[in-house]
Copies of this chain bind each other. A is one copy, B any other.
Amino acid sequence: MRDPRVVRCAYYLESEIEPARAAAILAGEQSSGTFVSVPGESAELHERHGAQIVDVQHLGRRSPSLPSRTQPEKVHAARVVVEWPMENVGTDLATLHTTIAGNLFELQELFACRVLDLQLPAEFIAAQPGPAFGIPGTRRLLGDVAGAMIGTIVKPNVGLSEEQFRSVVRELAHASIDLIKDDELMTDPSYLPLERRVAVATEEIRAAEQITGHPTMYAFNITGDLAGLRRRHDLVVEAGGRCVMLNVPVMGLPALAWLREFAEVPIHGHRAGLAGSMRSPALGMSYRVWQQLARLAGADHVHASGLGSKFYETDDEVAANVASLLAPLGATRGPVPTLSSGQNVTTAAPTYAAVRSTDLLMLAGGGVAAHPDGPAAGVRSLRDAWAAAIDGVPLQRAAELAADTGDPALLHAVQKFAGRTPPEEED
């Protein structure tokens, strides 16, 4: 009997043949393409395990988006919805991934193939751990901080000596910031090993907290070989660290899910490399699908680009990324949408207007470190900018008000950052 619980996926396809036929080829490839007849069983097997096309929406004809063995001038474009019985994938994330986003991208009949959306059966979602900390757990570790969380990245991202690193972290930790993170390129180099980074950063953060009273989280990048993953995680936890970071697309979702099994601190999920299978609108996977897989696997913080960033996604697309992260997914805890690249006081109001939530982490590189009055003023200016955004007070007006009452941090930030995108500011 066919499992009534289904995995439902929407695809954008292009094909020279009728879209319904192209979709059927995809469905066959990704389920029971039974060209070899097994005595007396093929029809029953197909009925039980075959993927089914439940919707085909024609979108007209256009030039083919991707190369193939043939080069037709025009192809049909279509949105199709495919359903698999849950029995085919069970509750295994890698099997799900292979089923919805595996060989199908290679089919010569397709001139575009992109996973647009994914709806999973409740039983599949319930079988995944999801974030162990998510938004509530992260806030708790940050002294129940309210509003948008403010973070930054250690810069320069590579090449710092231990003493340089110490002085950068010291300054940031004294700024009462919520989160400091490693760059995705900074893993465990011989000139500044993770072990030393952990020792130095946790020491500096502890010392700063004695003064500021505000807990700071450091996201240590433990990306690297899997044999050493647990050791690197334990190194962080044993030193009193509060967060580990993983370059998820590079490490793979199974590595994230495995880390989730033993992680004692939140997992900061970086998306370095994701755009390689996301940026072409004709290929790969949309962000809303990928983030489902990443949060089911257990990412507590998930990178989502940033409004006004130096990355390719438009502000509307970034807002949609954040919305997808804030949308419920079964009973899983919500992950912290993490905004990065070019973030500063000028991006707070547009972000709040677009997402209507402060359940997010804004990573500001230059927005903190390059503040004319130093990082502490940088952090203060960002919190003020968020408060103004929520209160609906225009940024310039809020900056002047704050300056009048004795804190020019926001005003100086506005003077520095308004009207220009600082070069090479990033996460």
Residues of B contacting A254 with CB < 8 Å? 224-226, 250-252, 255
Q: A404 interface residue, CB < 8 Å from B?
A: no
Total interface residues on A, CB under 8 Å, equals 103
Q: A138 interface residue, CB < 8 Å from B?
A: no
CA distance A168 to B227 in the complex (A): 37
CA distance A201 to B89 in the complex (A): 22
Q: How often does this chain occur in the complex, in copies?
A: 2
Residues of B contacting A66 with CB < 8 Å? 279-280, 312
A107 near B68 with CB under 8 A, answer no
Residues of B contacting A365 with CB < 8 Å? 35-36
Q: List 26 A-B contacts (CB under 8 A).
A: A25-B424, A36-B365, A36-B369, A38-B156, A45-B159, A46-B159, A49-B156, A49-B158, A67-B281, A87-B191, A90-B187, A95-B189, A95-B224, A97-B250, A97-B273, A98-B250, A99-B185, A103-B273, A103-B311, A103-B426, A106-B279, A106-B311, A226-B255, A252-B254, A277-B284, A280-B282
Mark A92-136 against chain B: 1 for CB-CB distance below 8 A, else 0.
111101110111011111100000000000000000000000000
Which of A255, A276, A309 has the most chain B CB atoms inside 10 A of its CB? Answer: A276
Residues of B contacting A261 with CB < 8 Å? 227
Residues of B contacting A168 with CB < 8 Å? 36, 38
Mark A255-278 against chain B: 1 for CB-CB distance below 8 A, else 0.
101100100000000001111110
Q: Report which of B93, B225, B281 forms a contact with A93, defined as CB distance below 8 A.
A: B225
Task: Give the distance to chain B from A184, nearest Cβ to Cβ, in Å.
Answer: 6
- Going nearest first, the 6 A-B pairs with the smallest beta carbon separation are A252-B252, A105-B275, A102-B272, A49-B159, A226-B258, A277-B277
CA distance A338 to B313 in the complex (A): 37
Q: A137 interface residue, CB < 8 Å from B?
A: no
Q: Report which of B87, B94, B101 forms a contact with A276, defined as CB distance below 8 A.
A: B101
Q: A425 interface residue, CB < 8 Å from B?
A: yes
A88 near B185 with CB under 8 A, answer yes
Q: A210 interface residue, CB < 8 Å from B?
A: no
Q: A188 interface residue, CB < 8 Å from B?
A: yes
CA distance A98 to B157 in the complex (A): 13
From A26-34, A142-150, A236-244, A410-418, give the one contacting chain B: A26-34
Residues of B contacting A253 with CB < 8 Å? 250, 252
Task: Give the distance to chain B from A402, nearest Cβ to Cβ, in Å.
Answer: 25
A276 near B283 with CB under 8 A, answer yes
Task: Give the distance to chain B from A80, nearest Cβ to Cβ, in Å.
Answer: 17
A185 near B48 with CB under 8 A, answer no
CA distance A159 to B89 in the complex (A): 11
Q: Report which of B92, B185, B277 forms a contact with A102, defined as CB distance below 8 A.
A: B185
Q: A155 interface residue, CB < 8 Å from B?
A: yes
A159 near B48 with CB under 8 A, answer yes
Task: Give the distance to chain B from A185, nearest Cβ to Cβ, in Å.
Answer: 6
B33 near A184 with CB under 8 A, answer no
Residues of B contacting A305 with CB < 8 Å? 106
Give the residues from 161 to 201 in chain A that come closer than 8 angstroms, CB to CB, to chain B: 161, 164, 167-168, 184-185, 187-191
Q: A73 interface residue, CB < 8 Å from B?
A: no
B97 near A188 with CB under 8 A, answer no
Residues of B contacting A160 with CB < 8 Å? 38, 45
Q: Report which of B87, B88, B92, B109 forms a contact with A188, defined as CB distance below 8 A.
A: B92
CA distance A97 to B93 in the complex (A): 23
A159 near B190 with CB under 8 A, answer no
Task: Give the distance to chain B from A110, nearest Cβ to Cβ, in Å.
Answer: 8
Q: A357 interface residue, CB < 8 Å from B?
A: no
